[in-house]
Amino acid sequence: MAAQLFLNGLVTGLLLALPALALTLIFGVLKFANFAVGAMLTFGAYAAWVANVQLGLPLFASALVAAAATALAGVVADHFAFERLRERGSITLMVASMGVSLVIENVCRFFFGNASRGFDIPPSRPIRWEGLRINHEQITTAVTVVLCLIAVDLLLRFSPLGRAMRAVADNASLAAVRGVDRRVIARLTWALSGALLGLAGVLAGLDRAIDPLIGWNYQIPIFAAAILGGLGSPLGAVAGAIVIGVAEEMSALVIPTNYRQVVSFTVILALLLFRANGLFGAKAARK
Amino acid sequence: MPALAARGLRAGYGRGADIVRGVDLDQAPESIVTVIGPNGSGKSSFVKTLAGLLPARAGSVSVTGRDVTAEPPARRVAAGLAYVPQEANVFPSLTIGENLKLATEFLRGRAGVGAEQRTRVLELFPELGARLRTRAGDLSGGQRQMLAFASALLAAPEVLLLDEPSAGLSPKFVGETMEAIVRVRQTGVTVLLVEQNVAAALRIADEAVVLVAGQVSLRAPAKDVSPADLGDLFFAKVA
């Protein structure tokens, strides 16, 4: 039982890692907490559903459509809302992200209604191994997330865009006088975060029914993961997501599963009280 | 043609009063001009306005005859104007190698930027080449200053703006920093040096510009300006 919960928690944590990474990238580069992560995840889930169910594309292609569509949604949100408010400070941007979140959620509600939907994928038997039950969806989630994390890590460490993003996160004014166009980097950060959230939406849609509130179910754990890791630290976001995922699942051993989000709330509360910079706080604080 | 020119430059923060109040400057190519003045005289604001980090409310800035007043900071770098801020002048989470790489990555197409310039700059600052994998955040103040100079120079600038490069450095490093500035000028770069350490700045500069309350109160060859005589000027009331 405990091993099964641990495995489930690991996969849940990996699923949380993508949106937590997206949240921390936006925070690191653009210096505000993006409350639209949940809504963008929902948008990604619906984009994939349209591609998969209505257009008949296979799930892999639908995931690419979702990533592209959500990346575009992020860029559009930046163009019409966030860029205009960039100099107004992080609180204004955070409130704006709440507005963007409501807009996205209601656009989804308008076009798709409140009914629950699911992807058109053939049912498959879970794999049984050493007494553990492993779903194909869990394997898909784990492989997808690990590949994405490797790709993002390589991008951040070795590409000019990654260096520019880290430079802007360190010191945006200095980056500007080194020839880095902050506007372009902001757009690309939104695109990258949007793509991650779109993919997270697809994986969330494999895990549960797609409805206008699917993203909200992950909102608190995403924030708990990013804060636990230290907002602004990509490695911290991933580590925080895995800890939160495992802790939430393992909490079923001691509390009813309906209350498992208590774990995320407790982590946020404890961090705010005792270690506001999170696990990788020194790095995040310096940024 | 002056390497750097400012005409009636005015700038300030938010909705506040002007901090830079109609500054004119004509700097000859390959010269060192030092801008000195008391605390709060607008020296750093002036140099930030030249770099494009503080928008000009009036007036103009041109680099080798090209008007860059409306250009954002990144485009001014591409036009040949490099700037080294007073503090936080390197990216601490990036290695020395990454700091240097970033300095040219977004300037492709600018003449002079490339492997040759990198070799030339690393010859000027040989200690950097040996420590490319060290995080910039782990460097001492003097080493950071060298990295900041090197990063700015990799852009093959016509004009280098330095904002108080000696701030916070030990006397030994102040001397080394001033020597580095002279070496930079010898490579054909025009240097505008904002400095609090007046004596050190006057020793290496060709011309001194004294800024008081955001206005030029004296412009003279550096050799004719004595630090001892500046007290009255610094505290004189400017209309």
Name residue B81's beta-bridge partners: B159
**Cβ separation of A180 and B102 shorter than 8 Å?**
yes
Interatomic CA distance for residues A280 and A68, integer angstroms: 31
Position B236 scores a pLDDT of: 59
Tell me which residues of chain B have a C-beta less than 8 Å from any C-beta of chain A: 51-53, 72-74, 76-78, 82-83, 85, 88-94, 98, 101-107, 137, 151, 155
Position A284 scores a pLDDT of: 43
Q: Is the pLDDT of residue A166 over 60?
A: yes
Q: Is the pLDDT of residue A283 over 60?
A: no
Interatomic CA distance for residues A36 and A42, integer angstroms: 10
Tell me which chain B residues have a C-beta less than 8 angstroms from the C-beta of A165.
none
Q: What domains sit in chain B, N to C, each tagged with a CATH number?
A: 30-52+70-235 (3.40.50.300)
Looking at residues A203-214, what average pLDDT do you find?
A: 94
Looking at residues A13-34, what average pLDDT do you find?
A: 94
Looking at residues A170-183, what average pLDDT do you find?
A: 92
Supply the angle between the helices A37-49 and A90-112 in degrees, to the nearest 10: 30
Q: Is the pLDDT of residue A167 over 90?
A: yes
Position A234 scores a pLDDT of: 85
Within 13 Å, how many C-alpha atoms sit on residue B167's CB side? 16
Position A281 scores a pLDDT of: 59
Look-up of token digits 């490319």: B132
Higher-confidence position of A174 and B113: A174
Position B235 scores a pLDDT of: 65
Q: What percent of chain A has pLDDT over 70?
A: 98
**Cβ separation of B155 and A178 shorter than 8 Å?**
yes
- pLDDT band per the 50, 70, 90 thresholds, residue A287: very low
SS3 B58: strand
Radius of gyration of chain B (CA): 17
Q: Which of A139, A145, A140 is nearest to A60 (CA)?
A: A140
Dihedral (Cα; B199, B203, B209, B211), 10-degree rounding: -20
Neighbours of A84 (CB within 10 A): 11
Sign of CA dihedral A226, A229, A233, A234: negative
Dihedral (Cα; A200, A202, A207, A209), 10-degree rounding: 120
- pLDDT band per the 50, 70, 90 thresholds, residue A285: very low
Neighbours of B174 (CB within 10 A): 20
What is the overall mean pLDDT for chain A? Answer: 91
Residues A45 and A214: beta-carbon distance below 8 Å: yes
Tell me which chain A residues have a C-beta less than 8 angstroms from the C-beta of B55.
none
For A125-158, what is each residue's pLDDT tens digit? 888 888 888 989 999 999 999 999 999 999 999 9
Higher-confidence position of A200 and A130: A200
**Cβ separation of B53 and A287 shorter than 8 Å?**
no
**Cβ separation of A178 and B98 shorter than 8 Å?**
no
Supply the angle between the helices A37-49 and A59-77 in degrees, to the nearest 10: 140
Looking at residues A218-241, what average pLDDT do you find?
A: 89
For A57-99, what is each residue's pLDDT tens digit? 999 999 999 999 999 999 999 999 999 998 888 999 999 999 9
The phi, psi pair for B216, rounded to 5°, reads -75, 120
Q: Which of B53, B73, B94 sits opposite A163 (nearest CB)?
A: B94
Q: Which of B72, B88, B102 sits opposite A178 (nearest CB)?
A: B102
pTM of the model: 0.86
Q: Is the pLDDT of residue A25 over 70?
A: yes
> A176 CA to chain B: closest CA distance, Å?
5
**Chain A, window 158-197: residues with a beta carbon less than 8 angstroms from a chain B beta carbon:** 160, 163-164, 166-167, 169-171, 173-182
Domain ranges of chain A: 7-213
Q: Is the pLDDT of residue A233 over 90?
A: no
In tens digits, chain B (239 residues) has pLDDT values of 899 999 999 999 988 999 999 999 999 999 999 999 988 899 999 999 999 999 999 999 999 999 999 999 999 998 999 999 988 899 999 999 999 999 988 887 777 778 888 888 888 888 898 899 999 999 988 889 889 989 999 999 999 999 998 887 788 788 888 998 999 899 899 999 999 889 899 999 999 999 999 999 989 999 988 877 777 767 654 44
Residues A14 and A199: beta-carbon distance below 8 Å: no
Lowest mean pLDDT among A61-75, A188-202, A213-227, B222-236: B222-236
